[in-house]
Amino acid sequence: MGGGGRVAKVEIQQKKPLSRVPNTKPPFTVGQLKKAIPPHCFQRSLLTSLSYVVYDLSLAFIFYIATTYFHLLPHPFSLIAWPIYWVLQGCILTGVWVIAHECGHHAFSKYPWVDDVMGLTVHSALLVPYFSWKISHRRHHSNTGSLDRDEVFVPKPKSKVAWYTKYLNNPLGRAASLLITLTIGWPLYLAFNVSGRPYDGFASHYHPYAPIYSNRERLLIYVSDVALFSVTYLLYRVATMKGLVWLLCVYGVPLLIVNGFLVTITYLQHTHYALPHYDSSEWDWLRGALATMDRDYGILNKVFHHITDTHVAHHLFSTMPHYHATEATNAMKPILGEYYRFDDTPFYKALWREARECLYVEPDEGTSEKGVYWYRNKY
């Protein structure tokens, strides 16, 4: 109540929706973007990269040691402690996962063999076939935004959407779909190429002769499989000594959270109503790389080594180490202009919104740009 009996009016401002990313040819080149970035941002330091590995693994070890004292806590604090451990450990191990992902891009150091040894070790420990995924992920970076050649989370035009999808377009169906996607979506993609680009033949990341890979790459798939088999056998031995429940609590549930975050991060980077996709008549590498979205995960941006809020820079310069990506992003923004998009919607809200609004893609009606597709949600 204001003076003189006047009622103060409080206006609630709605956040303006992000406008579409321009789909015309950018007025800048990759070379111009690179010149705008300080040269040191492209320098990879083995010592600096190792320091992040040591820091993350030290935290993971401290969290593990903490679990050995949970039984000393009075009830119900001993039960509450486990979910806290699962979330913290899952977040830290997601950061470790991201570092192994950098190894696959050779952004970890100047030495490819060091990157591959580190990446193979870390990703195998998290049950990821390192070389198998490194190869398909490299193709994703080469074909981002292409409806014909991109590797993962490739949206379908309305005519190719499964018949049952419209029956899931409600809160209950949406929640069920997200639950399945976040829990078993990643293993299903690796094993059966679910949500991936269609191939002729059985496309599995565990199959050396899958159509994903060329003849010269098949030996690396065997290496990935042997590493995974070794880790799986080690986990089996641990389960026989410590018990399956112990293994699930200490390792299994945090890994489930890692997989959930991985799917969430990847999905939200490439799924947004403001992002275009292109068929072969329109696609080119630069426009595809710019059809990505930087997101805000709060404190988790740092925990996840900024793969979340510097993803545009990562797609433009994938060999750049994560510890320079924020500086590089800020340096490029003036040149990128309207071609840069950042959505600060909390990721859990964005996940629900995108699952509701981004169901299939279609070109705009009454336009000559028939090769440019945008997300729709009306059946």
| Within-domain flag for 95 | yes
Which pair of tokens denotes residue 222?
């065997």
pLDDT at site 379: 83
| Within-domain flag for 183 | yes
pTM assigned to the model: 0.93
Q: Give the residue from 206, 208, 258 showing the smallest Cα distance to 229.
A: 206
| Within-domain flag for 364 | yes
pLDDT at site 241: 98
pLDDT at site 17: 77
Q: Which residue has the tokens 């090769």?
A: 371
| Within-domain flag for 178 | yes
Please give, one letter per residue, the 3-state secondary structure of 334-361: HHHHHHCCEECCCHHHHHHHHHHHCCEE
| Within-domain flag for 25 | no
| Within-domain flag for 329 | yes
* CA-to-CA dists, residue 343 to 20, 22, 272, 377, angstroms: 12, 16, 9, 20
| Within-domain flag for 226 | yes
Total number of domains constituting the chain: 1
pLDDT at site 16: 63
pLDDT at site 15: 59
| Within-domain flag for 7 | no
Q: Tell me the residue range of the domain where 289 lies.
A: 30-376
Which pair of tokens denotes residue 226?
């042997």
What are the per-10-residue average pLDDT scores of the chain (379 residues)? 44 64 96 98 98 98 97 91 98 98 98 98 98 97 97 92 90 96 97 93 97 97 98 98 98 98 98 97 97 97 98 98 98 98 97 96 87 94
